[in-house]
């Protein structure tokens, strides 16, 4: 068997094993749940962290475990290079046509975590396995870092940074190809507005970073001749009108790929009740923050996006949690100040944030990853900017690298999260090529 046969054989075998390993990991529901003895993020997260630790040990990696917050797995010698991802997922949600805990159907892998982020991390891990199986020797210490709380607060990576060695550079396979060298700033801001007296309740969403797929409201009064709004059902009971709106979930960083159910309720109220609701609709029902007075853009990262992820009411207030992705050149403090003064808010408080990321296009890391991508795809792509927040921000110098291809349907945070086996194999091959060039002799 010549050297090319050895390479192909090692790659083919590793990819087949990666598919099996990814399916097994996706088969464990790892939405954050009640703390348990093994992890503060719940039993499902604990099981996934234990599974990747066992897998890495079986392939000769040194493994470190962080009290159920994270697991790291390392191999090689020399300067440290990080590959950062996570095993937790957003809630499964409704509307699936395939098994949400993993199945392959008609050449497509379905399941929560196929793209975000179990699948890509396993593909990257097995890409390294395959290079070592070929007899290649790492010239860097390659450290995989698996977090357990990326979707619900980043407490895992915060804990890692406090207790462990920090790689000076690395990648996060948790976004898009070709290479993301620019990530917008992220701010989750809780906005409190005065509630109209006749609005009895309004509630929807459970994650700021998900476009709201379902919203319900109750309003005092009967509206038998109400104008219809697509996706909104109205039912009158004892002088109270109950509204239910069905939207479409999407990642909060790409609100135009979803259909926000809260917007539908506000549109119905503006059309049929009028008054204060017209102002609320005009203030809140856009994805660029214009109604709130915070719209802005820059050349590096594009326009601000704004998503209503959560809405609730009490006797006096409407409380919204906004997911705002702002340009890298616009300080978060500017956004906060405008929200507090421009929209008559009762209160506005930042409950979570991530500062922007920017690595120049001519940086050696960016050029090396881009070269591997272009070589494998035959494209002549350039780095891109996104609104998504990845663990790349956790390191002094890092970028996001895959797994979503240009023109590929992005089903992250949606029902039927999926990727074709063809695209998964392309991702695996790109990671192999990049790691071979950057991390191996």
Catalytic residue numbers read: 88, 150
Task: Say how many C-beta atoms besides its own lie within 10 A of residue 351's C-beta.
Answer: 12
Element containing residue 270 per DSSP (H, E): helix 261-272
- b/e map of 182-216 (b: 16 or more CB within 10 Å)? bbbbbbbbbbbbebbebbbebbbbebbbbbbbbbb
DSSP 393: G
Q: Give Cα separations from 12 to 9, 138, 182, 428, 433 (angstroms).
A: 5, 20, 33, 10, 14
Torsion of CA 9, 14, 15, 19, to 10 degrees: 140
Q: What is the C-alpha to C-alpha distance for residues 164 and 49, in angstroms, rounded to an integer?
A: 17
Print burial letters for 102-118: b (CB count within 10 Å at least 16), e (below 16).
bebeeebbbbbbbbbbb
DSSP 8-state symbol, 227 = P
Question: Structure tokens of 97?
Answer: 């046509």
Cβ neighbours around 236 below 10 Å, total? 13
Do the beta carbons of residue 210 and residue 204 sit within 8 Å?
Answer: no
Tokens of 390: 């990845």
Angle subtended by helix axes 118-133 and 3-26, to nearest 10: 150
Residue 337 vs residues 14, 116, 189, 208, 364: alpha-carbon distances, Å:
52, 33, 12, 20, 38
Strands (E), 264-342: 297-298, 302-303, 305-313, 317-326
């Amino acid at each position: 068997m010549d050297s090319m046969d050895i390479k192909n054989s090692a790659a083919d075998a590793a990819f087949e094993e990666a598919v099996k390993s990814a399916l097994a990991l996706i088969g464990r529901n790892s939405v954050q749940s009640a703390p348990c003895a093994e992890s503060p993020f719940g039993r499902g997260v604990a099981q996934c962290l234990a599974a990747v630790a066992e897998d890495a040990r079986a392939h000769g990696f040194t493994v470190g475990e962080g009290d159920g917050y994270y697991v790291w797995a390392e191999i090689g010698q020399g300067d440290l290079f990080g590959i950062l991802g996570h095993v937790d997922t957003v809630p499964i949600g409704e509307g699936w046509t395939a098994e949400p805990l993993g199945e392959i159907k008609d050449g497509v892998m379905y399941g929560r975590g196929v793209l975000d982020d179990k699948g890509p991390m396993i593909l990257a891990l097995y890409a390294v396995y395959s290079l070592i199986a070929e007899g290649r020797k790492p010239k860097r210490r390659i450290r995989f870092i698996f977090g357990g709380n990326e979707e619900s607060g980043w407490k895992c990576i915060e804990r890692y940074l406090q207790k462990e060695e920090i790689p000076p550079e690395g990648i996060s396979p948790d976004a898009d190809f070709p290479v993301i060298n620019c990530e917008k700033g992220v701010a989750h801001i809780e906005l409190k507005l005065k509630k109209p007296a006749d609005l009895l309740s309004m509630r929807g969403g459970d994650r700021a970073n998900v476009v709201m797929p379902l919203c319900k409201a109750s309003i005092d009064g009967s509206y038998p001749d109400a104008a219809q709004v697509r996706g909104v059902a109205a039912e009158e009971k004892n002088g109270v009108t109950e509204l239910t709106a069905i939207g479409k979930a999407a990642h909060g960083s790409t609100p135009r790929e979803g259909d926000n159910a809260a917007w539908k309720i506000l549109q119905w109220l503006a059309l049929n009740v009028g008054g204060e609701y017209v102002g609320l609709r005009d203030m809140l029902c856009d994805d660029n923050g214009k109604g709130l007075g915070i719209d802005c853009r820059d050349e590096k990262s594009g326009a601000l996006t704004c998503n209503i992820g959560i809405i609730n009411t009490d006797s006096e207030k409407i409380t919204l949690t906004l997911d705002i992705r702002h340009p890298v050149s616009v300080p978060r403090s500017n956004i906060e100040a405008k929200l507090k003064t421009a929209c008559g808010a009762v209160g506005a408080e930042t409950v979570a944030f991530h500062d922007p990321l920017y690595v120049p296009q001519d940086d050696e890391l960016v050029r090396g990853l881009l070269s591997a991508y272009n070589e494998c795809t035959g494209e002549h792509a350039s780095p891109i900017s996104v609104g998504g927040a990845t663990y790349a921000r956790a390191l002094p110098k890092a970028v996001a690298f895959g797994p979503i291809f240009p023109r590929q349907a992005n089903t992250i945070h949606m029902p039927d999260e999926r990727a074709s086996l063809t695209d998964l194999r392309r991702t695996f091959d790109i990671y192999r090529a990049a790691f071979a060039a950057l991390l191996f002799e």
